[in-house]
Amino acid sequence: MLHANPQLAQVIARPDTYELQIIYTQINRDAQNRPTFTPHTYYLNPRQYFNPASLVKLPVAALSLEKLNQLNKPGVTRRTIMATGTAFRCQTPVQFAAPADSDQAATVGNYIKRMLLVSDNLAYNRLYEFLGQRPLNDRLAQIGYPNVRITRRFAPCDTTANRHTNPISFHTRQGDTLYKEPAKVNLISYTSPLGRVLKGRAHQAGGRIILEPYDFTTANHLPLGDITALLQSILFPASVPPSQRFNLTPTDYAFLRRYLHATPHESGFHPYAASRYFDAYKKYLYYGRSPTLPRQSGLHIYNVVGMSHGYLADVAYFADSLHQSEFMLSTVLYVNRDGIINDGAYEYDSIGSPFLAQLGRSIQQYEAQRPRQFRPNLAEFFASEPIR
């Protein structure tokens, strides 16, 4: 399928150059609508490092909801106002405020919406700090992801500063404190499970080119197979063993599903009602970051994306009501012709996005006509009622 499509040829002909990895998962249902997942992989290599960028926002979102459930403090929910203090260098505060528009409030729920709708980095930082570096990684290891490392804010903080996370507190709209948590520090220095990771022939720092590879050894690390499994566990929790599931309520799962799929404008989230964020802002597979491509009727895409340091990734589940088809597709490729990292000169628009768009469309067209013994009932993925 890949080699037969001339629009994919440039990348497919040089998978090593583009560090291409693909997981295409067919989903087949039985007579009771229970899904079976069959992955097909292309150059998948968990030993091949890629920078996950915003892909890490998905596990951070799920773990933040899980932590609220574990705290089990009266009045503390995803809608409760959260304040963030400071206790170490590179930390920034979010003071308590009770705005008239609840969508503007600093809450776990609003941070998750910002992360999933437009991949907001500051929202990620706040929830990374809420979780703490050590508890975040320990919990991922506990549910079956021992090789994942989420060790950095999306901010110019050094390795030590990222090990220190802020004090937080939750408040009523009147300002009364419901719960507070002190600053945390991880005494373990995390490094990549791959050993030392050097990429590129040079990198830019401080406005100058340094003729040495960029060191990702202490950076975030999230293999494509793991983030694919995490998305599956959130969309189809019954498909994974109980020990590998997040401790989430049905409402939590519905909340994540809603904002993994919704576009900025249709989400009902006021900050994005009339903004620069177009509908396909983070739907790389199929739409390719195009602000003008018409949306496909009946096609719902639940996904998380990453774009940084020349890496472009999308991990998605497609539910097509028009053709009664579904599948999962995860892809990452590297588009950095000059080999210099952090210079901003990447081929995202000329090579990366067109490839992802064509790949998603090709698989969707194939799945639309693929024979199935039982057509899926996708009603649960097409609920229209917003979950706030």
Count how many domains the chain has: 1
When pLDDT is cut at 50, 70 and 90, the band that residue 259 belongs to is very high
The pLDDT assigned to 266 comes to: 86
pLDDT at 21: 98
For residues 107 and 127, give the distance between their C-alpha atoms in angstroms, rounded to a whole number. Answer: 10
Residue 387, domain member (yes or no): no
Residue 74: inside a domain: yes
Handedness of CA 154, 156, 159, 164 (dihedral sign): negative
Q: Is position 1 within any domain? A: no
The one-letter amino acid at 299: L
**261 lies in a domain?**
yes
Check residue 292 and give its pLDDT: 83
DSSP 82-146: EEE---STT---B-----SSGGGS-BHHHHHHHHHHH--HHHHHHHHHHH-HHHHHHHHHHTT-T
Query: Is the pTM value of this prediction over 0.85?
Result: yes
Half-sphere exposure of 43 (CA within 13 A, CB side): 18
Residue 356 has pLDDT above 60, yes or no: yes
Q: How far is CA 102 from CA 79, 107, 122, 173, 313, in A?
A: 8, 9, 18, 10, 32
Of the chain, the percentage scoring pLDDT greater than 90 comes to 89
Average pLDDT over all residues of the chain: 95
Domain coverage including residue 327 = 6-381
pLDDT in tens, 113-152: 999 999 999 999 999 999 999 999 999 999 999 999 999 9
DSSP H helical segments within the chain, as ranges?
9-12, 57-71, 108-118, 121-131, 133-142, 159-163, 224-235, 250-261, 284-287, 353-369
Nearest-5° angle of CA 366, CA 116, CA 362? Answer: 10
Query: What pLDDT does 382 receive?
Result: 81
Instruction: Say if CB 25 and CB 331 are below 8 A apart.
Output: no
**Sequential DSSP letters for 289-322:** T-SSSPPPTTEEEEEEEEEETTEEEEEEEEEETT
Tell me the C-alpha distance between 307 and 312, whole Å: 5
Does 386 reside within a domain?
no
pLDDT value at 388 more than 80: no
pLDDT tens digits, 39-85 = 999 999 999 999 999 999 999 999 999 999 999 999 999 999 999 99
**Domain membership flag for residue 12:** yes
In this structure, are strands 340-341 and 202-205 parallel, antiparallel, or unpaired?
Answer: parallel
State the pLDDT confidence band at 291, using cuts at 50, 70 and 90. Answer: confident
Whole-number Å distance between alpha carbons of 177 and 122: 23
Domain containing residue 10: CATH number:
3.40.710.10
pLDDT at 98: 96
The token duo for 16 is 């090593």
Segment 3-45, tens digit of pLDDT: 888 889 999 999 999 999 999 999 999 999 999 999 999 999 9
pLDDT digits (tens, 9 = 90+) for 162-195: 999 999 999 999 999 999 999 999 999 999 999 9
How does DSSP classify residue 221?
B
Residue 385 has pLDDT above 60, yes or no: no
pLDDT of residue 51: 97
Is the pLDDT score of 210 beyond 60? yes
Q: Is the pLDDT of residue 386 over 80?
A: no
pLDDT band at 233 (very low <50, low <70, confident <90, very high): very high
Q: Give dist(CA 58, CA 127) in Å, integer.
A: 11
Whether 204 has a pLDDT exceeding 70, the answer reads yes
pLDDT, average across residues 322-331: 96
Alpha-carbon span 298 to 301, nearest angstrom: 10
Give bridge partners of residue 42 from the DSSP assignment.
Answer: 22
Q: Is residue 388 part of a domain?
A: no
Q: Of all residues in the chain, what percent carry a pLDDT higher than 70?
A: 99
Residue 206 lies in a domain: yes
